[in-house]
Structure 1
Amino acid sequence: MNTCIRSHAAAAISRRPAILALALVASLAAWPSGVALAAEKAVVIPPPVDDPASANASETAVLAGGCFWGVQGVFQHVNGVASAVSGYAGGEKGSATYDAVSIGNTGHAESVRIVFDPKQISYGRILQIYFSVAHNPTELNRQGPDVGTQYRSTIFASNPEQARIAKAYIAQLDKARVFGKPIATTIEPLKTFYPAEAYHQDFMTRNPDHPYISYNDLPKVDNLKRVFPDRYRVKPVLVGAGA
């Protein structure tokens, strides 16, 4: 059963409190047996050996790691990140909607487009946070209770250099066996990123008491603060107006 789908559907009707409450109760009641409600602990991993400096004023990383609420929320709290937008990557424009992607056969993955200043944080450091605290890279086509290729762990490389760095880092981490299991993260060339619907943006910040956020995603931000204190920013950089 796909909990994130139920949670997203509840968000879409957030102006109807009674229906929303019923949806959330049903979501928790149907949580798969044997699946922990709390987010997994962070895995402390070494930085990439191959992480060349960039002379660009700005760079973009597109990463998929399960429900985009949590991945966006983590990177919105990272120093050097100018923006983090939830969206879809891997499929075609016509299917880049939540209703279509939720079916799981569009080729899209729930993704986050991260624009960052490489003078403040490198692409390799972005990947280190992604692998360590933003998601579990050893799970194949799922993250926790959310199952399907739309929740796969994927790095959408914007250029051959990003693909090379990501491939080398995965090999480095697998060789060191820091996770105990092989990394399932795939590397795909980025075709186009499509921003998600407005109600998905800044969802963690706007809904800190949402059961899905409380159990799965807020602990990721706590892990970011603990494992990467030099990278943590208290005030998130938000998509919404006035952020």
Structure 2
Amino acid sequence: MATATFAAGCFWQPEVIFRDTDGVIETRVGYTGGDTENPSYEQVCTGRTGHAEAIEVTYDPAKISYEQLLDIFWECHDPTQKNRQGPDVGTQYRSAIFVHDAEQRETAERSLEEQRRRRRATVQTEIQPAQIFWPAEEYHQQYLQKRGLATCKI
């Protein structure tokens, strides 16, 4: 098993997309990339913790590649928006790839360069080393599924 971590705006919809992907074993939503230990949703929403809303994906590399997960990441949000996705505004909604090793970094950088060539707008996605992943509160885990919703897309 391997781990991938992505920030693609609000974590609810991307979590559904990753969770429903063959080869993905488990997903968790939470906070990473900041400097406050064990932040709450309310703290992250202030923009003062430095965290992004993120999805931690545990996957089987024999069934799905990291590159394929990156393809899903690019499709499930608009990486040209800086610190926002639709009406959600703030640094916690930034687009970021949190890499867990040198191989992920190399693959993510190649993928980012490809996106920059393909898109007409500037890609705002950051690539950062993975940091501690703080799971979000239980009510955020599989939020849409618990409410019988298929999507929250705008």
Tell me if TM exceeds 0.5. yes
C-alpha offsets along residues 208-242 of structure 1, whole Å, 9 cap, x if unaligned? Answer: 35xxx75517xxxxxxxxxxxxxxxxxxxxxxxxx
Q: Which has the larger radius of gyration?
A: 1
Normalised by the length of structure 1, the TM-score is 0.61
- Flag the structure with higher strand content: 2
C-alpha offsets along residues 98-125 of structure 1, whole Å, 9 cap, x if unaligned? Answer: 0100101211000010000000000000
The separation in 1 between residues aligned to 2:44 and 2:79, in whole angstroms, is: 21
Amino acid at match of 1:102: C
- Flag the structure with higher helix content: 1
Query: Is 2:112 aligned against 1:170?
Result: yes
Structure 1 contact 208–214 (Cα < 8 Å) conserved: no
C-alpha offsets along residues 50-98 of structure 1, whole Å, 9 cap, x if unaligned? Answer: xxxxxxxx11000001111111111111000000100000113535210
For the residue of structure 2 that corresponds to 1:118, the secondary structure is coil
Structure 1 residue ranges, 4+ long, deviating more than 6 angstroms after superposition: none
The separation in 2 between residues aligned to 1:205 and 1:112, in whole angstroms, is: 15
Structure with larger RCO (C-alpha < 8 A, sep 6+): 2
1:36-47 equivalence runs, <5 A = none
Query: Is 2:149 aligned against 1:206?
Result: no
Residues paired across the two proteins, number: 154
Which residues of structure 2 form unaligned runs of 5+? none
1:197-236 equivalence runs, <5 A = 197-209=137-149, 214-216=151-153
Of residues 54, 58, 61 in structure 2, which corresponds to 1:115?
58
Amino acid at match of 2:83: N
Amino acid at match of 1:87: G
Normalised by the length of structure 2, the TM-score is 0.94
Report sequence identity in percent.
40
For the residue of structure 2 that corresponds to 1:216, the secondary structure is coil
Query: Is 2:103 aligned against 1:161?
Result: yes
Q: Which residue of structure 2 lines up, in the alignment, with residue 189 of structure 1?
A: 129
The separation in 2 between residues aligned to 1:77 and 1:214, in whole angstroms, is: 12
Q: What RMSD, in angstroms, separates the aligned Cα atoms of the two structures? A: 1.5
